[in-house]
Structures are given as C-alpha cells and as structure tokens.
Amino acid sequence: MAALQPGRLLARRYRLLDQIGAGGMSVIWRARDEVLNRVVAVKVLAPSLAADARFRDMVREEARSAAQLVHPHVTSVHDYGETLAPDGEITSFVVMELLEGEELEDRLSEGPLPWPAAVEVGIQVAEALAAAHRLGIVHRDITPANVMMTKVGAKVLDFGIATQAGTPDEDEDGGTFGTPAYVAPERLDGAPAQPATDVYSLGVLLYETLTGQVPYPADTWEELGAALQDQRAPSLEGVPGLPPVVARTCLRCLARDPHERPSAHQVAAALRDQMLPGDPQAATMLSPTVTLPALATSPGAATATGEVASAGR
C-alpha cells in the first residue's frame, strides 16, 4: 500500500491522482480512467489481503455481482483488476463511481436529522437494499459510514464487498463481517448474511438518524452480546412529531427474530407513505403477515414505548 503514489498507472488504464480515504482493508484513491477519460474511485485492497488468492477471488466475484446492481441510490461498480509488481506483490483493486458529498456518519456527528429528512434517507437506503436483494445480493455492512449524502440523494457505498445471500462469510481475521453495533443478533450465533440481516442494519441506521444514537452501543462482538442482553428495548417516543407508523416500522426492523422483520421493499413502501400520504400501494405493503410490533413484555423485545436506550458510537 505504501508503494502506491500519485501518478501510478494501474492496469495501464487507471491513473492514481490522490488518496481520498483509508481503512483497515483498503485505501481509496481518486483516479482518472484514461480509456474513458473520466474520474473514478479506485479501492485498493491491503497488501496482506491481496496476497491471499482466496480473498482476491472472493472480492472479484462480489464485484462482478455488484456490477449488475444498477440503481440511483447505489454506487456503481465499474471494474475489478489486479497488477503484479516486479517484486511479486499483487495489487488488487475495485473501480467505482466517484461521489461528491458528505458521509451520513459525518452529518450525524452534528446530531440527529429532522424526522422527514431521516425518513427520506431510510426510504432511499431501503430501496437500494430491495434492488440488491432481488438479485440475491446482501450488503452485510449498512452503516452511516457507508451512506453518502449527495446532491441527488443518499447513495449506498461498498456493494463491491457485498456477498450472495446465505453464503458463509467472515472478515479478514476470520470473524463475523460487519460493524458490531449494526449487526443483527443472529449473526452472533453464526447465521449467514441474509436480506433480513441487512434490514436489521437498516433499522439501526434509521434509529440513529432519528435519535443520534444506536439502539445497542457496541464496539466489539462481546459488547454487542452484552448490550443485547442488558439494554432496555429501544424506543422512539422522544422524537418530536414522529408518525407512529415510522416508529413501528423502524422497531420492526430491529426485531430479534429475523422472520418478524419486514422486507426492504416493505420498509421503503411504508416509509414512503408517510412522505406521500394516500398512496394505497404503500399503505398496504406492511400486510397482516408482517404485523408491526405491539408493546413488549420483556427487556429484550423491541417496543414503541419506554425510554430511549442510552447509546454512543
């Protein structure tokens, strides 16, 4: 990773311009596609991961799947490539649409959004997930850091590291993939990523945009397990003017039982009805087979009543 410098040409096509982001698994560069004469984002995998042929194969297949996902609220994946240096080091990278905007995480550092703005974000992320789920793709890491606020609305990032529903997955250390505070409870027991696990993460994201807090604060898997056992059920009673349907929809996404969660399509439709009242299709999408939560009788259940659980990022 340290060998990469501005001006480096990858695959005789992508000229690196400047580094715009970094994480434990990758570095993101602004680059120029010299074939199509456009500026793109290039995510370069960490050398330790790029050296693992199994991991490269996984990323290539996932990027191929994500490239099929064309949606106004999804960052487009354009290409995947590998280069081999004279010293034998492999550079593995994913080429994506370059976005201009602000991460939702940064926006939330200033406090929660007004409920109409939060609901609009929720609709757009839910629609992106619904499109992915129709193709059998699950994201695995829906968080505010993976949602970019642009002039044309929210864009979900990192579908280039998504996976097929039901596929066993793990992070680079062999553990559960994802950000603990946003990961569905069943994942702690080894359940594979499914559309319902994305919907749980969507519920956490929506809850955070409305309250400024995550329902179950955790930085590690152990902390998440303890929080799920010890914390009060989440509530949205303190959000001024929040329509009850929005609260119930959000809390249903947080249901402990994945079978009790609505689909991403149903979430989008139910939330959209609050922005466009009177849409009969949206009003009926949360059908009796996806009953919204009643009052909880135990600390572990999601409810629309009680205090908002204290949380921190």
Whether residues 148 and 277 share a domain: the answer is: yes
Is residue 266 situated within a structural domain?
yes
**Catalytic-labelled residue, pool 18, 33, 79, 141:** 141
In this structure, the answer to whether residues 160 and 125 fall within a common structural domain is yes
**pLDDT, tens digit, 9 for 90 and up, residues 37-62:** 999 999 999 998 999 999 899 889 88
Residues 138 and 254 in one domain: yes
Predicted pLDDT at 268? 97
Q: Which pTM does this prediction carry?
A: 0.80
Cα gap 86→196, rounded to integer Å: 45
User: What CATH number corresponds to the domain at position 34?
Assistant: 3.30.200.20
Residue 305 has pLDDT above 60, yes or no: no
How is residue 69 written in tokens?
Answer: 């996902």
Residue 215: band (very low, low, confident or very high) from pLDDT cuts 50, 70, 90:
very high
Q: How many residues does the chain have?
A: 313
248, pLDDT greater than 50: yes
Residues 50 and 199 in one domain: no
Distance separating the N- and C-terminal Cα atoms of the chain: 29
Shared domain for 111 and 90, answered yes or no, is no
Q: Quick check: 72 pLDDT over 80?
A: yes
Residue 81 within a domain: yes
Residues 74 and 116 in one domain: no
To the query of whether residue 273 is one of the catalytic residues in this protein, the response is no
Q: Check whether residue 92 and residue 239 sit in a common domain.
A: no
Is 171 a residue whose pLDDT tops 70? no
pLDDT digits (tens, 9 = 90+) for 141-159: 999 999 999 999 999 998 7
